């Protein structure tokens, strides 16, 4: 209900905007219009005029309608997911039953055609979800691709890569086999011998040894400090001679391994002496 047109300018001060003949008792908390007692509508502790009250109710109805639509949409999505899961599991059970029936009666052409039809559907599912891999499902040992989508692992494993890192696994296996063939004690002894050549050579040239040398704390990593030159410049100079090392917190780091010879360690010391 709008104020009477053409009469708003003529209404007396302190009169209702909708009923000029009535005395105003309150102003609308939203638009500030003067209201008589008949026009006052109290909503949630606020005194509103007729128009503001209608607008508030319309907004609440629209919000309720949107919420209802979202609720219905989520419900439909849930129903579709449940129906799809039920249908998929039912298909799997039917495929397993038919497979056993065909195995028991291989001459039955009807069963064979039914099995081929079910298997064709499973192959289409396999093509659609083959990128997911088998690691993320509840039973990683399961090789049936059409079971992956409906039986994902409930823990964080469902977000891992689709298949194990077979290249890395094979490489690690070959490395461990090689280490075991040589012997861990032989490897450790060779590493410490190479480190000892570097330590002695660097200290003879006035370098400061940072890494520990006692047998209890020594490792295959040797860390030095030059009294004047920066480690970055030394790394660049050695890299030009095909000697690879790195810097760590302002120090020069070298990590010789068992497959490197003592002559190679002496060559490193000789190249460092030229810097």
Task: Please give the average per-residue pLDDT across 133-142, as a whole number.
Answer: 50
Q: Tokens 């001060």 correspond to what residue?
A: 13
CA 102 to chain CA centroid, Å, is: 44
Q: What is the mean pLDDT of the chain?
A: 76
User: Higher pLDDT residue, 237 or 16?
Assistant: 237
Alpha-carbon span 92 to 185, nearest angstrom: 54
| 137 DSSP β-pair partners | 152
3-state SS assignment for residue 243? coil
3-state secondary structure 144-200: CHHHCCCCECCCHHHHCCCCCCHHHHHHHHHHHHHHHHHCHHHHHHHHHHHHHHHHH
Specify the pLDDT at position 218. 82
Specify the pLDDT at position 151. 56
**How does DSSP assign 31-59, residue by residue?**
T--EE-TTT-EEETTEEE-HHHHHHHHHH
Other Cβ atoms closer than 10 A to 224:
22
Q: Is pLDDT at 46 greater than 60 in this prediction?
A: yes
Helical axes 262-273 vs 231-239, angle rounded to 10°: 120
pLDDT tens for residues 19-36?
Answer: 777 777 888 887 888 888
pLDDT tens for residues 56-77?
Answer: 788 888 888 888 888 888 888 8
> Do the Cβ atoms of 44 and 57 come closer than 8 Å?
no
Return the CA Rg of the chain: 41
182-273 under CATH 3.40.50.300, yes or no: no
Report how far apart, in Å, the C-alpha atoms of 50 and of each of 6, 37, 47 are.
19, 11, 10
Specify the pLDDT at position 6. 38
pLDDT tens for residues 144-198?
Answer: 444 444 455 666 766 676 667 788 889 999 999 999 999 999 999 999 999 999 9
User: Higher pLDDT residue, 42 or 168?
Assistant: 168
Q: Is pLDDT at 99 greater than 50 in this prediction?
A: yes
Task: Please give the average per-residue pLDDT across 3-30, as a whole number.
Answer: 64
Q: Which residues contact 264 (CB under 8 A, 6 or more apart)?
A: 256
Give the CA angle between residues 22, 24, 30 to the nearest 5°. Answer: 130
Specify the pLDDT at position 102. 72
Helix (H) / strand (E) element for 11: namely none
Alpha-carbon span 218 to 203, nearest angstrom: 16
Segments of the chain assigned to CATH 3.90.1150.10 = 182-273
Specify the pLDDT at position 231. 87
Q: Is pLDDT at 82 greater than 80 in this prediction?
A: no
Q: Which residues contact 194 (CB under 8 A, 6 or more apart)?
A: 256, 257, 258, 260, 262, 265
Specify the pLDDT at position 85. 60
3-state SS assignment for residue 208? strand
Alpha-carbon span 134 to 17, nearest angstrom: 73
Specify the pLDDT at position 148. 40
pLDDT tens for residues 101-131?
Answer: 777 777 777 766 666 666 655 555 554 444 4
Q: Is pLDDT at 132 greater than 70 in this prediction?
A: no
User: Higher pLDDT residue, 175 or 48?
Assistant: 175
């Amino acid at each position: 209900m709008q104020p009477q047109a053409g009469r708003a300018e003529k209404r007396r001060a302190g009169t209702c905007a909708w009923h000029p003949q009535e005395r105003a008792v309150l102003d609308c908390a939203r638009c500030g219009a003067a209201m008589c007692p008949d026009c006052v509508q109290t909503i949630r502790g606020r005194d509103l005029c007729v128009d503001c009250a209608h607008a508030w109710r319309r907004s609440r109805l629209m919000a309720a309608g949107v919420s209802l639509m979202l609720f219905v949409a989520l419900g439909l999505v849930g129903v579709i997911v449940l129906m799809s899961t039920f249908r998929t599991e039912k298909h799997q059970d039917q495929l397993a039953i038919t497979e056993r029936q065909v195995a028991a009666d291989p001459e039955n052409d009807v069963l064979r055609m039914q099995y081929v039809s079910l298997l064709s559907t499973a192959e289409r599912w396999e093509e659609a979800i083959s990128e997911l891999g088998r690691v993320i499902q509840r039973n990683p040992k399961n090789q049936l691709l059409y079971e992956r989508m409906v039986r994902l692992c409930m823990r964080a494993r469902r977000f891992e890569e689709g298949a194990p890192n077979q290249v890395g696994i094979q490489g690690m296996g070959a490395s461990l086999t090689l280490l075991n063939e040589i012997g861990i004690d032989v490897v450790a002894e060779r590493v410490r011998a190479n480190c000892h050549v570097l330590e002695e050579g660097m200290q003879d040239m006035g370098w400061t040894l940072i890494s520990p040398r006692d047998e209890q704390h020594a490792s295959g990593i040797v860390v030095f400090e030059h009294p004047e030159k920066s480690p970055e410049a030394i790394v660049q100079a050695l890299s030009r001679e095909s000697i690879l090392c790195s810097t760590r917190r302002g120090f020069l780091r070298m990590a010789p391994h068992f497959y490197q010879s003592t002559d190679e360690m002496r060559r490193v010391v000789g190249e460092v002496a030229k810097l």
